[in-house]
Amino acid sequence: MQRQPGDPDTAAKILDIAERLVQVRGFNGFSYADVAAELGVTKSALHYHFSGKAELGDALIVRYATRFAAALAAIDTQTTDAAAKLDAYASLYLDVVRDERMCLCGMLAAEYQTLPAPMGEAVMRFFDDNEAWLARTLQQGRDDATLHFVGSAHDTARMVISSLEGAMLVARPYGDIGRFEAAARGLLAGLTPATAPRPVPAA
């Protein structure tokens, strides 16, 4: 049975389907017809909620970024340990890989040149917000000597995001979660100082 445009659940369902399609195919790899067919509505019903694909894309990024920001806030609430926060951050990406998807904004970044300007700006804001959170976490770890890295916290934050996004991309054609996990472990291990051996007391 076809849903009516006014159905309050329709917009959320459109976003759910479109988000999965972007994470699997990319923004340019799906059309309104794909969403309409999967949801069982007419294309005009989609236009009732999102006047065009660009507006749908904006809504996707806003929802994804809001959800991600809430996850980062939850991490801050759950632990004060900087290394544990980084582990939890990497786990957010791992969850996406396990679902056989890519980071929504990572996929959109690959198509940046073809995106409408507002979408491109929203993608950059997503990464800027992530970099800011990571930089604060990294600086906290440097200050309390639980993390070690060369250079500024901001530059290292960029490296962390780039490494995790890249690890997702490389693991994708192999369908191998282990590739991502190994890369993430190596990345985080490189930020954690080795514990110096305690001297053996003289007899």
Would you state the pLDDT for residue 5?
A: 44
Would you state the pLDDT for residue 8?
A: 57
Would you state the pLDDT for residue 157?
A: 98
Distances (CA, A) of 45 to 42, 51, 54, 168: 5, 10, 16, 34
Would you state the pLDDT for residue 194?
A: 61
Q: How far apart are CA 46 and CA 2, in angstroms?
A: 12
Q: How far apart are CA 176 and CA 15, in angstroms?
A: 27
Query: Which fold does the domain 62-189 belong to in CATH?
Result: Tetracycline Repressor; domain 2 (1.10.357)
pLDDT in tens, the chain (203 residues): 344 444 558 899 999 999 999 999 999 999 999 999 999 888 888 999 999 999 999 999 999 999 999 999 999 999 999 999 999 999 999 999 999 999 999 999 999 999 999 999 999 999 999 999 999 999 999 999 999 999 999 999 999 999 999 999 999 999 999 999 999 999 999 999 865 333 444 44
Would you state the pLDDT for residue 168?
A: 96
Angle between helices 82-98 and 117-143 (to 10 degrees): 140
Within 8 A by CB and 6+ apart from 32, the residues are 43, 46, 47, 53
Structure tokens at 200: 């053996």
